[in-house]
Amino acid sequence: MHIHPDFLERMRSLLDEEFADFERCLHEPPVIGLRANTLKIDPRSLQRRVIFEMQPVPWCPAGFVIQKEATTKQSAPGKIPEHAAGLYYLQEPSAIAVAEILEPQPGERVLDLAAAPGGKSTHIISLMKNEGLLVSNEIRYQRVWELAENLERWGATNTIITQESPTRLASRLEGFFDRVLVDAPCSGEGMFRKSENARRDWSPELVMSCSVRQKAILSDAARMVRPGGILVYSTCTFSKEENEEVISQLLANNRDFVLEDIKQVAGASSDMPGTLRLMPHRIHGEGHFIASLQREGGMLAESRKPMKRERLPASALESYREFCQGMGISAVPEEHLQISGSYLYKKMELAPDLFGVRVIHPGLWLGTIHHSERNRIRFEPAHALAMALPPQQVQHIAVLDRQAIVEYLKGMPISLPGPDGWVLACMDQYSMGWGKRVKGIVKNYYPRGLRWH
């Protein structure tokens, strides 16, 4: 493993007598972790289901370290039906600490400013119990769709996904959020054990350019925190230029922000009150830095009008209601529905006016309105709706054994007697996706881009 000598000298200066232990740990295998989806499964139940050995993460009741990973491609942690069902998210243990420190509460308005690929957003959703509002933002086009895919699999129902710059978001949403998370783009020093690209791309110049960018992002993020609200800043790097110096500049330029007492993580250290350093030679995880700040003052009076809701065409509304009635599920009331092109969404009640903001999904994607050549309207349910529905709330389900589930995930049709129409494919009590049964054959509607190969 080649590591830039300038990086090693910087770490020697930072760690002093601990440097030898740190350098030794850089050559050890990276730590692999996962976090149970507590919206769907109890962590202990997950531990009994999976085929690889796991030990709890001390700082998160839902977190685990994978002790002995399965060796075959078909049984790897990211390639088993439990993962496809959204029962867990593969996440490095140190990264799991960030949302635990943010401590979002049900009913709050929360922003994850640089959210892809979605690990911290899915954690936030679980802690919020799908109640309140999460705006999950990612500026990069390809990465925002990865974020959307992970939130969909998680069963998120309280989330707006945006693709916007921090500056433009701040201009629309100043003082709007109870909590804001900035998991900032960084030089990636804490990921050296996991990523050859991070080791190859590192340079002192990269550290300085990241620091400049982080200061600008954090400044915009601070504008969106309401008085009395919380701002958490995190990176997966060690440099003070990207960590303590970024926080120091924010405090110097924003006198209404103060570092608050931070939730402790076993084995973490601190060079500044209100911050934590998670170092791989001290804990069972990779490198991370976390800071927690509070904006002083009382609650900001809400002055923004909610986004106007366009009235749905009667035919689209009727088609959606017919589907819900046929499946025995509760239809979303008309006043909470929103149509965007041919896509039908459940609009978030706490949503602000996002006019001028690039919105990927304005809420839970319910399905698509199709117009046939004969001007007939047909509603096709979205995969996001399937993943958000508990099977016990659905009248027509297809409970498949494990072999049939694997065939379903590969996009194959399933032979299953029963009445014609839509069915929710399930593994035990967990939703997997949609199928449509015709004469005893369930046509597969599992999204093509997610299918196993």
Q: Is 372 helix (H, G, I), strand (E, B) or coil?
A: coil
Q: Residue 150: CA atoms inside 13 Å, Cβ hemisphere, count?
A: 24
Which residues make beta-bridge pairs with 424?
397, 434
Q: Is 181 helix (H, G, I), strand (E, B) or coil?
A: strand
Collect all residues with Cβ–Cβ distance below 8 Å to 79 and sequence separation of at least 6. 73, 452
Q: Residue 332: CA atoms inside 13 Å, Cβ hemisphere, count?
A: 24
Distance, CA of 265 to CA of 271 (rounded, Å): 14
**269 secondary structure, DSSP code:** B
- 405, 81 in Cβ contact below 8 A? yes
- 238, 190 in Cβ contact below 8 A? yes
Collect all residues with Cβ–Cβ distance below 8 Å to 361 and sequence separation of at least 6. 148, 159, 160, 161, 345, 384
Active site residues: 236
**387 secondary structure, DSSP code:** H
Q: Is 21 helix (H, G, I), strand (E, B) or coil?
A: helix
Collect all residues with Cβ–Cβ distance below 8 Å to 90 and sequence separation of at least 6. 32, 33, 34, 77, 78, 83
Q: Is 327 helix (H, G, I), strand (E, B) or coil?
A: helix
Instruction: Give the C-alpha distances (Å, rounded to integers) separating 435 from 157, 386, 396, 413, 431.
Output: 21, 10, 10, 9, 11
- 425, 447 in Cβ contact below 8 A? no
